[in-house]
Amino acid sequence: MQKYLETNDKEFKNNLIEMLINNTLILIIDQFGNYVIQSVLALKNINHCNKIVDLVIDNIAYYSKHKYSSNVIEKCFDCCDELHRKKLIDALSKNEIVNDLILDEHGNYVIQKVLNYADNKIQEEMLKNLCNNIEKIKTIGFGERIINRLMVNYPQMTGFLNKNNNSNFVKNNNNKYLNTNNLYNNNFNGFENNVNNYIINYNSNKKGGKFKNSKNYKGKKNKNKNFNENNKNIDNDNNFNKKEN
């Protein structure tokens, strides 16, 4: 897939990227698909990154805790514009989200990314909140490592801890995160077939690295009986997060 994202054929490349972005919510929770979206982000196109942020923002806590999609969330911070980075920070700096993700083996890395990009005011609020829950963080297997890393990166935590000799525990919200297993199982194979067909059509129609003609290509793509129907279903399912909430 990487070589196709690096092709000089702009028409093919733009169509492929659009297809990948439209199926972000399926790909980022896949063991290999998440690398595909990270490859799109690595192109450092702000518009592409912003679109991906807009797709994940409504269920950002879920994707921040997922083994694969959490990597994509971290990478979004590095390539989106200031407005979309602020969206990520605002969504992930809420006390209940911080308290939950810091205790997660994947989510804690996302929280550290938020701290890295947050302004001084938000950063201070997040650190104070973490200090209030320091004893609870210590109870998890990797808690001491998180605390040590935070203390090194944010020395001001020492002062906050001194003011909180008796740490207050903040109960975690038992948030019902979105279950995307059914979406993934039903749609990933269909999506993969569409991408494969697109690339196969491209390879069979190109001449000297370019399509013979765009009309011929579009006609061939539309001859795939399930192409339009599958894409329509997938596009509709991409709004699942809004319907589920």
pLDDT at 207 > cutoff 70: no
Contacts of 180 (CB under 8 A, 6+ apart): 25, 29, 62, 240
Model confidence at 241, in pLDDT bands (50, 70, 90)? very low
Q: In angstroms, how far is CA 75 from the centroid of its own chain?
A: 8
Minimum mean pLDDT range among 30-44, 63-77, 170-184, 203-217: 170-184
pLDDT at 47 > cutoff 90: yes
Instruction: Give the global pTM.
Output: 0.70
Which of the pair, 73 or 214, is modelled with greater confidence?
Answer: 73
Please give the share of the chain, as a percent, with pLDDT higher than 70: 72
Model confidence at 180, in pLDDT bands (50, 70, 90)? very low
Mean pLDDT taken over the chain: 78
- AA letter at 192: E
- pLDDT number for residue 156: 83
Which of the pair, 52 or 219, is modelled with greater confidence?
Answer: 52
Model confidence at 34, in pLDDT bands (50, 70, 90)? very high
- AA letter at 23: N
pLDDT at 138 > cutoff 90: no
Question: What's the token pair of residue 15?
Answer: 């169509």
Closest CA to 66 of 13, 12, 30: 30
pLDDT at 217 > cutoff 80: no
- Please give the average per-residue pLDDT across 140-145, as a whole number: 88
